[in-house]
Amino acid sequence: MSAVLWTSADAARATGGRAVGDAWQATGVSIDSRTCQPGDLFVAIAGPSFDGHDFVSAAFAKGAVAAMVHRPQAKLAADKPLLMVDETLAALGRLGLAGRARSRARFLGVTGSVGKTGTKEALRLVLSTEAECFATSGSLNNHWGVPLSLARLPLAAEIGVFELGMNHAGELGPLSRMVRPEIAIVTTIEAVHLEFFASIEAIADAKAEIFEGMGAGGIAILNRDNGQFERLAAAARRRGLARIIGFGEHSEAAARLIDYRLEANASRVSADILGRRVDYRLGAPGRHWVQNSLAVLAAVAALGLDLGLAAGALGSLSPPKGRGQRRRIALATGGSFELIDESYNASPAAVRAALAVLAKAEPGSSGRRVAILGDMRELGAEGPRLHAELAAPVAKANVDQVLTCGPLMRELAAALPASRRGAHAADSQSLIPAALAAIKAGDVVLVKGSLGTRMAPIVEALLRLEAAVPPARAANGN
């Protein structure tokens, strides 16, 4: 049985709201009626596209014990408990702050231009080997995701890992002040969200806002190989942080990469973590995973936990959905292909990293390396050039065919030689028929693009190829 998170009295006190109806106890907090679980407190957020107040009845049908609302629910049965507040998003923020205030956990914050979610999941994996560890779900890293995650923080949690994101200056500081992390990890600073920033230095300054919620005893774990390391370190020192730990191949990195070997489905790593040699297998393939694993182990060492145990746990690490998950899919015509699902998001650095993973993949007999790429968003005036420049890493990765969608990816298509150029479409939905027709047995297929480009439907269409295969053939893969 799940532990109680909030009682009606506690939630009313935390939010400044008024409980109406019978007393209740919630074991969870939800803002989505579709995923609401029995025992949840449903918070009716009024967003730009949907208003949660329209789905209160649906949440109760799913088993919600109460609903937090800021306007009367005339159509709701009188026996349904409500928590009346001034405004639900603001009240969710206060509930999250109360969750943080009552917790005795040690808190870590993770940000960076790329690699936040994967690093957060790696921390969840390794820290759970020694402690009751809570981490944010998916990419709940913004002005409503962070307070929601804090409101969900179990009382028994000993460690809390929070992903903090932004795409404008001034967004990260308030999130950091909510979480108040003891340790902050900045994975890297890259050319993302350029539409909203004048320079990469401005991006670094915005990411440095993660230090604003930290105390003088805080620890910053920073990418020593990144060109913005000194800028971030200076920002951390100005905030009075006690310790700065660099990670990477740099000779001065305290969490230093000694050697690594990339394999098709994993990596072998040797590193010096704060003076201790550690050799480990990393279950997720790719140089970017190797780099971020150093930050993970540096955090383990900084927390005073068992480094050997944590390194061993990294062998079972697998990429999150949409961020490198791999699956072999049987074809009705016989044989199978391997899908690398990187559909969640994209930036120039992330696409290069994904192409490097594709380069290490091993196609089957007569198989090819195929990349299906959608637009990278929020790059401003630099967008066309940054898309065209992907032609070089495509060639370096020995990609046999590239299918593209979106107006910006047309720049890459034009930059590719005819031998590598596949179909191009205006959007992802229009590309699906060509993508399905292009796949052959033995192929390794990478799908990647920004969230707004909606590459997930292409992944779903490819997965449905297996649904058309008789069960016996799908099980045998031939």
Look at residue 127 and tell me whether its pLDDT is greater than 90.
Answer: yes
Angle at 240 between CA 239 and CA 245, to 5 degrees: 95
Crossing angle, helix 348-360 and helix 287-302, to 10 degrees?
A: 110
Alpha-carbon radius of gyration of the chain: 24
Picking from 109, 127, 111, 162, the residue whose alpha carbon sits closest to that of residue 314 is 127
User: What's the pLDDT band for 471 if we cut at 50, 70, 90?
Assistant: low
pLDDT, greater one: 183 or 264: 183
The mean pLDDT value for 53-61 works out to 95
Per-residue pLDDT, 78: 81
DSSP 185: E
Q: What is the mean pLDDT of the chain?
A: 94
pLDDT band at 139 (very low <50, low <70, confident <90, very high): confident
94 within 8 A of 60, measured Cβ to Cβ? no
Looking at per-residue confidence, does 77 or 396 come out higher? 396
User: Per-residue pLDDT tens for 173-203?
Assistant: 999 999 999 999 999 999 888 889 989 999 9
With beta carbons less than 8 A apart as the criterion, state whether 90 and 107 touch.
Answer: no
Read off the pTM. 0.89
What value does the mean pLDDT take over residues 404-413?
98
Q: What are phi and psi of 211, to 5 degrees?
A: -80, -15
Residue 409 has pLDDT above 70, yes or no: yes
pLDDT number for residue 77: 83
According to the model, what pLDDT value does residue 51 have?
Answer: 92
pLDDT at 74: 77
| DSSP per residue, 103-152 | ---EEEEEE-SS-HHHHHHHHHHHHTTTS-EEE--TT--STTHHHHHHHT
Q: Which two tokens stand for residue 201?
A: 């230095």
Question: How many whole angstroms separate alpha carbon 469 and alpha carbon 329?
Answer: 10
Residue 477 has pLDDT above 60, yes or no: no
Percent of the chain residues topping a pLDDT of 70:
97
Q: Is the pLDDT of residue 288 over 80?
A: yes
DSSP summary character for residue 101: H
Q: What's the average model confidence in pLDDT over 144-168?
A: 96
**99 — pLDDT class (breaks 50, 70, 90):** very high
Q: Print burial letters for 320-331: b (CB count within 10 Å at least 16), e (below 16).
A: bebbbbbeebbb
pLDDT tens string 425-443: 999 999 999 999 999 999 9
CA torsion angle 45 46 49 50 (round to 10): 70
Q: Which pair of tokens denotes residue 474?
A: 């799908």
- In the predicted model, is pLDDT for residue 316 greater than 70? yes
Burial 354-369 (b: 16+ CB within 10 A, else e): bbbbbbbbebbeebbb
Domains of the chain with CATH codes = 6-87 (3.40.1390.10), 103-316 (3.40.1190.10), 325-476 (3.90.190.20)
Residue 76 pLDDT level (bands cut at 50, 70, 90): confident
| Confidence (pLDDT) at 336 | 95
Q: What is the mean pLDDT of residues 12-19?
A: 97
Burial label for 314, CB within 10 Å (0-12, 13-18, 19+), is buried
